[in-house]
Homo-oligomer: A and B are copies of this chain.
Amino acid sequence: MNVAIVIFDGLAALDAVGPNEVLSNTPGVDVTFVAQEARPHRTDNGALALVADQTLDEVPNPDVLLIPGGVGTRRLLHNEALLEWVRAADATTTWTTSVCTGALVLGAAGLLEGKRATTAFSELETLKQFGATPVEERYVHDGKILTSAGVSAGIDMALYLAALLVGEELAKAVQLGIEYDPQPPFDCGSPAKAGPELTERVRVAIARQVAAAA
């Protein structure tokens, strides 16, 4: 069972590395980081580069496709070579998945037409442009498409996916192995919990980051 995590300049590191921590620790699952060029890719806020070991062309038929988000996704929406690879890969995947604004890439590839899907809270409405029905849930399963909310939601989605791939017992062992027993010091990780004022402030900050990266 092979999982291709597609990376690109300007991705959000945790979007890719959260699911990788789950899936690369799942028995029988091989994870490969792929990109248009096999080289280090600088993540959105510059502190870190993740290495893509293989090019997209070298991994044409992953069982699972995962597209992370980050400000860099916006440049991918008009990258026809990448979108064509995504469409071709999806034709033979068991699961096609995204974290955060990775869903916009699935949408631009035409894969969310008529699907329920989710993404970063700040881009939920954008999903309608791709014919999808936005759903404000942690992760959404529609057919063979799994989409998750922003950034850290990829960890939850990946545990759910691990259970689909190898069963609940092994997925639970992975959860214990990575000690995923979340105890954040605050409880404001969604717009509903954070309230309108903080949410507006974060929404503005995100819009500024997206504009700066354009």
A188 at interface, CB cutoff 8 A: yes
B176 in contact with A159 (CB, 8 Å):
no
B202 in contact with A186 (CB, 8 Å):
no
A178 in contact with B150 (CB, 8 Å):
yes
> Which B residues lie within 8 Å of A184 (CB)?
155-156, 159, 175, 180, 182
> Which B residues lie within 8 Å of A100 (CB)?
179
Q: Which of A42-50, A85-93, A103-111 touches B?
A: A42-50
- For the complex formed, measure the closest distance between the CB of A206 and the CB atoms of chain B, giving whole angstroms: 7
Per the bound structure, the CA–CA distance linking A45 and B156 in Å amounts to 20
A138 at interface, CB cutoff 8 A: yes
Residue-by-residue, is A64-85 near B (CB-CB < 8 Å gives 1, otherwise 0)?
A: 0000000000000000000000
> Given A24-B45, A173-B198, are A189 and B193 also a contact pair (CB < 8 Å)?
no
A185 at interface, CB cutoff 8 A: yes
The prevalent SS among residues of A at the interface is mixed
How many chain A residues touch the partner (CB < 8 A)?
Answer: 64
A94 at interface, CB cutoff 8 A: no
Per the bound structure, the CA–CA distance linking A154 and B176 in Å amounts to 15
A12 at interface, CB cutoff 8 A: yes
- For the complex formed, measure the closest distance between the CB of A34 and the CB atoms of chain B, giving whole angstroms: 11
Provide 17 A-B residue pairs closer than 8 Å at the C-beta atoms, listed in order of the A residue. Answer: A12-B21, A20-B47, A31-B47, A40-B40, A48-B50, A121-B179, A151-B178, A156-B183, A156-B184, A160-B185, A163-B185, A176-B189, A176-B194, A178-B189, A180-B184, A181-B190, A182-B189
4 other A-B residue contacts (CB within 8 Å) besides A12-B21, A152-B155: A171-B185, A172-B198, A176-B194, A181-B193
State the 7 A-B residue pairs at the shortest beta-carbon distance, nearest first.
Answer: A181-B189, A150-B179, A182-B182, A14-B21, A49-B51, A31-B47, A17-B17
